[in-house]
């Protein structure tokens, strides 16, 4: 994902975990948030909830994705 976006001229900030991701989002106020549901510290649903609680992040589009099997992702 990063290689594709960078090759098309987009700036890309990567966070290794949910807490860092929230801090980065608040610091950078991105145009779009790509969210992996399988994070090492908290699940992606938890981070999405944190993001939606932050007034300055509420209007930023969020796309969640995962490498989990489709049924697991649907259950989440």
d(CA 19, CA 67): 21
Q: How many domains does the chain contain in total? A: 1
pLDDT tens string, the chain, 76 residues long: the values are 889 999 999 999 999 999 999 999 999 999 999 998 888 898 888 999 999 999 999 999 999 888 777 777 667 6
Give this prediction's pTM.
0.82
Would you tell me how many other CB atoms lie within 10 Å of the CB of residue 34?
16
Residue 67 lies in a domain: yes
Residue 63 lies in a domain: yes
d(CA 35, CA 44): 7
pLDDT of amino acid 70: 73
Pick from 61, 70, 9: nearest CA to 35? 61
Domain that holds residue 74: 32-76
């Amino acid at each position: 994902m990063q290689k594709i976006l960078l090759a098309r001229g987009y700036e890309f900030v990567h966070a290794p975990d949910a807490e860092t991701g929230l801090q980065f989002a608040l610091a950078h106020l991105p145009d779009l948030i790509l969210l992996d549901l399988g994070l090492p510290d908290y699940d992606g649903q938890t981070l999405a909830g944190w993001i939606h609680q932050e007034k300055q992040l509420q209007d930023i589009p969020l796309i969640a994705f995962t490498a989990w099997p489709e049924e697991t992702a649907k259950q989440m």
